[in-house]
Structures are given as C-alpha cells and as structure tokens.
Amino acid sequence: MISLGQKFPEFKKKATVSVKPGKEFSEITNNDHISKNKWMVMFWYPKDFTFVCPTEIVEFSRNKKEFDSRNAELIGASTDTEFSHLGWMMAHPDLKTLEIPLLADTSKSLAEDLGILEAEEKIAYRATFIVDPKGYVRWINVNDLSVGRNVEEVVRVLDGLQNGGLIPCNWKKGEKTL
C-alpha cells in the first residue's frame, strides 16, 4: 500500500459527473487539484449497485460544502465503469443529485498503485486518501468491505492537517492544539 508522505500516483481517468444528458462524463487527473492549489480527498468504494456504498457516497456529497470551504476537491472512485456509475446514479433516487464525481478505474491500475485491491474479487477496499496541494499523501484510512466510514472524521482530519499544529484526540476545528 502507498505510504504517508509519498506522492499520490499519476492518473488520468474518466468520471461520471452528472445524470444530465450531454454532461455525464469528464476526465480527472492527479494534477487537477495541484494546478488549483487545492487539497484532494479521494474515497474508494467496492462496487456500484451495492448496499453500504450509497450511504457513504450520499454522505460525502451532503458534506461537499464542508470540503469546498476547506479548499478540498472531493472525488469518489471505484473499479466500475463510468457507464455503470451513470446507470447506478440514474437508478438510485439518492444518487441522482450527486455533487461529486465518481471516478472509473476500469483498468484497476490506480487502485493497484494505491495497494487497495481486495485479493479475491479485485475490487477496491473502502479507502480514503487526503492529498495535500503538492500531491503528497497526508492521511490514509482503509476499512473492511462491510464497514462504512465516518465522513465527519474525514473532515476532522482534514481540519487537523490544515491546522499545522499538534492535534489531540477528539480535537475539533476551533479548539486548542497542543
């Protein structure tokens, strides 16, 4: 698995960004957030058309403004195709109005470079990466396939990394650091 402090791997992938005809797809690269001097939060989920995944995706989307206010680009990702993402977004009522892109790593090359491919099915674990504006990995969290993550914790860690101080347990933005 990629380690803290390493450069996030280079990538250029298609993403599903909308269910609006003619505006469904876009291309995302590892340099997009760097060129804008932004942080990147990329969260991986195992598969489209599953049960735990939409709960996470919807919660990240609901919190998009929190990430925006912290100068962070938010990207969902899986090894499914952009067409699978689109079909799922169109079929699932909670996903129709997503405000975040879903990256399609159909070659599984990025998931493999990150070291987050589950061995048997070759699907991505529930992994979250916070990458600084220079492209370096600053936080990694990986959950088992069956356990959804806590979006508030991702925001809290992003706040801590951006604070620059020593961050105690359960710290929240605005509280004293060590």
- When computed from its CA atoms, the radius of gyration of the chain, rounded to whole angstroms, is 16
Q: What percent of the chain has pLDDT over 90?
A: 98
pLDDT (tens digit per residue) in 135-159:
999 999 999 999 999 999 999 999 9
| Extents of the domains making up the chain | 12-146
Distances (CA, A) of 84 to 9, 10, 15, 91, 141: 24, 23, 11, 10, 25
Residue 96's pLDDT is what? Answer: 92
pLDDT of residue 174: 93
The continuous run of DSSP H or E covering 59 comes out as helix 52-62
Among 64, 61, 62, CA closest to 72 = 64
Q: What is the mean pLDDT of residues 103-110?
A: 98
Enzyme catalytic residues:
53
Residue pLDDT, tens place only, 12-25: 999 999 999 999 99
Integer Cα distance of 12 and 49 in angstroms: 24
Global pTM value: 0.97
pLDDT of 118 reads 94
Residue from 92, 88, 67 nearest 78 by CA = 88
User: Which pairing describes strands 72-78 and 102-104: parallel, antiparallel, or unpaired?
Assistant: parallel
Report the pLDDT value the prediction gives residue 170, as an integer from 0 to 100: 95
How much is the pLDDT for 12? 98
98-102 mean pLDDT: 95
Which phi and psi (to 5°) does residue 150 adopt? -105, 110
Q: In one letter, which amino acid is 140?
A: I
pLDDT at 80: 98
Specify the pLDDT at position 176.
92
Taking a C-beta distance cutoff of 8 angstroms, is the pair 164, 142 a contact?
Answer: no
pLDDT value, residue 1:
94
| Cα distance from N-terminal residue to C-terminal residue, the chain | 30
The domain 12-146 is placed in CATH, from the list 3.30.750.24, 3.20.20.70, 3.90.1150.10, 3.40.30.10, at 3.40.30.10
Q: What is the 3-state secondary structure (H, E, C) of 2-41?
A: CCCCCECCCCEEEEECCCCCCCCEEEEECCHHHHCCCEEE
Provide, rounded to the nearest whole percent, the portion of the chain with pLDDT above 70: 100
What pLDDT shows up at residue 162?
Answer: 97
Q: What is the pLDDT of residues 34-84, one digit of tens each?
A: 999 999 999 999 999 999 999 999 999 999 999 999 999 999 999 999 999
Q: Retrieve residue 116's tokens.
A: 């987050």
